[in-house]
Structure 1
Amino acid sequence: MTKVLFRGRARVENPRWRLFRSHYRCEAFYCERGIEGAHEKGGVEGQIGYFRRNYLSPVPEVDSLAELNARIEHFEQLEDGRRIGARLRTIAQNFAIEAPLLRTLPDDHFSTALLLTPRVDRYGQITVRCCRYSVPIHLIGRTVRVMLHASQLIIYDRHHEIARHERLAGKGTETIVLDHYLEALMRKPGALAESVALEVARAGGAFTDAHDALWSAARRSLGEPGATRALIEVLLLHRTMDDADVIAGIRAALSVGSFAADVIAVEARKAADARGTGRPTPGIARLSAPATTVTAQSLQVSSLTRKRLADLPPDTRPLPSVDAYDQLLRRPAPNTCHQPDTHQESAS
């Protein structure tokens, strides 16, 4: 509601709420304000108290809002078999009787998201409701579209989705994704080691021990800038491959002393085939670190030379010999020392 009027049941409705009611063809009936209308919704308040006492006390501890919603959905299923008071039928049985009387829902879905158009600042971030979210770095200075939902926000560049974040609640908080800055870090590799994006990726488990091991191995051969660029080439693989497959490819490549992105890509595809997933589906700024189901020991890097030789016919020619050249080693070396002139010695 935009405003609760002083008297009566009248309200100044929010425009989005009016569109919602119009879409689903429902009418709104508002209670009296204050003490006068307290008795009008006693049943609703009583059922909320019942649910809280029976299922949410003590307060459940969860890792995410999705886990909490899954628990509540399970509790609601348990309620289907309950009888209210002395009624003959359960809640599910009563609803089965009422369901045919309900109005059918429209075919198209009504989006309750709020459309915003923020501008990307020079740090590759947008500000939405006093919170900051990162976007791909090439969008600096451009205006993007944001669909702000209750628990997440989706960012679009024209008609293409470019990022998706969980909605933040604290004022001044920010969400930074390392994948959004890889192109800039490729040009300035020295900025990666102390960057906030890398720190956030490590804290969230997106930058794993396998990535650190790859980075260390590349440093010993390429030095700091070259090793960082090699690491970024591998991080870019997460955009088109499954994270678990890329990590399995890193471990397989390191087992034979390689850190090349091409080798890791080949081993990642082999890991995807071993899991039966086929070609992986590209994601948007994922770079997460799920549990690896394919171990490095099960992946052996194939030698292309050995594979080519296996397809050739057998070679029956005798092995080459260097005996003829060994005869040169047995010949005495010519005496190149300077011989004194005997005539001059006798004259003296």
Structure 2
Amino acid sequence: MELFATIRRDARIEGLSIRALAKRHNVHRRTIRQALDSAEPPPRKPARRTSPKLDPYKPAIDAMLCSDLDAPRKQRHTATRILNRLIDEHDALGVSYSTVRDYVRVRRAEIDTAAGRRKEVFIPQHHPPGAEAEVDFGEVWIILDGVRRKCHMFVYRLSYSGKAIHRIYPTCGQEAFLEGHIDAFNTIGGIPTRHIRYDNLTAAVTTVLHGKDRRRKENDRWVLFASHYGFDPFYCQPGITGAHEKGGVEGEVGWFRRNHLTPMPEVASLTELNEHIKAWEADDDARRISGKLTTIGDDYATERDLLAPLPTEAFDPGLVLHPRVDRSSMITVRMMKYSVPAHLIGRKVRVSLRASHLQIYDGHQLVATHPRVASRGGHVVDLDHYLEVLKHKPGALPGSTALAAARTSGAFTPTHDAFWAETRKVNGDSEGTKELIDVLLLHRSLPADAVIAGISAALKIGAVSAEVVAIEARRHTPTGGATPDRHPAAHRDEQGQKVVSLTQRRLTDPDAVIAGLPPDTRPIPSVADYDQLLPRRTTPTPAENIPKASTP
């Protein structure tokens, strides 16, 4: 463009000939004539690349591409497969992959057009504020407590503003599906007034009834959930053909995964990761989606007041199950085992299965809460559920799975081990283990820190007894084991009180100050004063001298 402008200026100002202009600018005279005829350079002709090595095999490639017209979408020829067939069937060793790839890309489109196949045209859609939303699941990989694991990200996105809620769950089952909705509704502060778009997830749809009216046979619990919150589901076309119908959430899954979950996050729990996600979502409010002039936060502020209100009653997203407790005091839920209190053996319990945990009920009483296990064959065992049984079988404690799990989780600390070792030296294995179990039972009514402090105090004075641990543990509770104003005088000199061992005092010098006790200077106890109260009987009474009558 600049060359043509310079040539035209020189010809106009200096009046140079074509030959002189060609010599000055070092170009062909044909170029000078083109510049004088038009200020715009002619378009460049695209270079046509020839592939003489591929020419003999083009009919075979065309035949393969024509056979793909009737083949399933996932079983059509790729450029790599075509090249491999050319080598195996036609000895095309001199043909490169890039040559086959370039020819297949152009020729496939020509064959599809000739067969009447047209590329699908997408029509832009208008989404009124507060009317629509989209939901989808996406797979993510994280490093959870040092182990690489696959999890599932629930994404809920408002169609107008692009405001999205993301939550990570160990499963994509119905319990996670419902729990994600509830969290999204509560965070967003309302429900779309028109519909929410879904693909045909098994958590919502049991059967796809093919037809133009998009009829579906829905899951009963999903129908109850949608009716409770008052929204209408809209189901997209099955398969990849319906992905464009909720393209906003499809793109949101990929965008969030690339920008916030790459590289793989390293967290100790999914709760910690979801707290980070909430902060990232707040930062994303300042982002502007391509094609919009306003930010996500600005559009959401407009849309928020147009959403339908939330219902006043809460909905339990847990899946209700009724397993039976086996002889090991365990229940099986989704091929994983969880412990329950031993007195429930042989009975059926009610389980509310959530996305990240499960709650176990005996009637209306909550008896256990466990984190949900994602791996098949896993188990969660609570040592507290077996304490009453171990009281009668103390020899089963050292090798029990419950004890190993308690050590792994940190509930059974080295302080407990030290108390156990000391009490077995004093009381023997069986009785010493029973003392330990009595100490473990204290965790049900006292804080763990207070019990551990009580154990440490008992070990210092050599009194390895559950009663001593209980006394010291109550002293270390914030209220001393009672309400703050119940016995104020009892806590007046609490800092100077301590538990002492009388056994240790008896085995040492009684005149020495041992275990915090002063010397005992009191006189030896005597009952002489009480002897004065006894009657003095020097002579028997007349009645006592009368002989008793003999029995005939």
TM over 0.5: yes
Q: Give the aligned partner of residue 301 of structure 1.
A: 498
> Post-superposition shift, 1:102?
0.9
8 Å CA contact 2:420–2:433 kept in 1: the answer is yes
Partner of 1:213: 418
Checking the alignment, whether the CA contact within 8 Å between 1:267 and 1:299 is kept in structure 2 is no
Task: Give the deviation of 1:67 after TM superposition.
Answer: 1.0
* 1:60-75 mapped onto 2 (5 Å cutoff): 60-75=265-280
CA contact (8 A) 1:118 1:145 kept: yes
| CA displacement at 1:36 relative to structure 2 | 2.9
Unaligned runs of 5+ in 2: 1-204, 485-494, 503-520, 525-552
What code does the residue aligned with 1:255 have?
Answer: K
Correspondence for 1:99 among 304, 326, 339? 304
State whether residues 122 and 140 of structure 1, in contact with CA within 8 Å, keep that contact through their aligned partners in structure 2.
yes
Q: Secondary structure at the match of 2:476?
A: helix
Alignment of 1:181-220 (within 5 A): 181-220=386-425
Quick check: which has more Rg, 1 or 2?
A: 2
* Alignment counterpart, residue 429 of structure 2, candidates 202, 215, 224: 224
* Separation of aligned partners in 2, 1:262 and 1:40: 69
Question: Contact between 1:272 and 1:279, CA under 8 Å: does it hold in 2?
Answer: no
* 2:424–2:431 contact (8 Å) kept in structure 1: yes
Which of residues 208, 214, 217 in structure 2 aligns to 1:4?
Answer: 208
Q: Distance in 2 between matches of 1:97 and 1:319?
A: 86
Residue in 2 that maps onto 1:251: 456
- Give the CA deviation at 1:320: 6.4
What is the rounded CA distance, in whole Å, between the counterparts of 2:392 and 2:501 in structure 1? 32
| Alignment match, 1:113 | 318
Q: What SS is found at the alignment partner of 1:194? A: coil
Q: Secondary structure at the match of 1:146?
A: strand
Structure 1: which amino acid aligns with 2:420? W
How much does 1:300 deviate?
A: 6.6
Partner letter of residue 209 of structure 2? L
148-157 vs 41-50, greater mean Cα deviation? 41-50
Conservation of the 8 A alpha-carbon contact between 2:462 and 2:501: no
What corresponds to 2:125 in structure 1? none
Is 1:124 matched up with 2:124? no
C-alpha distance in 1 between matches for 2:237 and 2:278: 31
- Cα deviation digits, residues 264-315 of structure 1 (max 9, x gap): 22222222228x99769xxxxxxxxxxxxxxxxx99724599xxxxxxxxxx
2:224 matched residue in structure 1: 19
Aligned-partner Cα distance in 2 for 1:301–1:320: 25
TM-score, length-normalised on structure 1? 0.78
Shift of 1:119: 0.8
- Among residues 334, 343, 353, which one is paired with 1:138 in the alignment? 343
CA deviation profile, 1:9-56 (whole Å, cap 9, x unmatched): 222111111001000000011111224323212221112111111100
1:175 correspondence with 2:175: no
Q: Which runs of 4+ in 1 moved over 4 A?
A: 276-280, 302-305, 318-321
Contact 2:243 2:250 in 1 (8 A): no
What TM-score results when the alignment is normalised by the length of structure 2?
0.50
Residue correspondences, number: 291
Structure-2 separation of matches of 1:35 and 1:188:
60
Q: Structure 1 residues 125, 279: closer, same or farther in 2, change over 3 A?
A: farther
State the SS of the aligned residue for 2:450.
helix
SS at match of 1:50: helix
Inter-partner Cα distance in structure 2 for 1:93 and 1:279: 51
Counterparts of 1:234 and 1:226, CA distance in 2? 13
Change (3 A) 1:14 1:210: same
2:469 maps to 264
Q: Distance in 2 between matches of 1:179 and 1:299?
A: 34
Cα 1:266–1:89 change in 2 (3 A) is: farther
Provide the aligned C-alpha RMSD in A.
2.5
Please state whether the residue corresponding to 1:2 is helix, strand or coil: strand
Tell me if structure 1 keeps the 8 A contact 2:325–2:346.
yes
Matches within 5 A, 1:76-91: 76-85=281-290, 87-91=292-296
Contact kept, 8 Å, 2:475 with 2:481, in 1: the verdict is no
List alignment gaps of at least 5 residues for structure 1. Answer: 281-297, 306-317, 322-348
Amino acid at match of 1:92: G
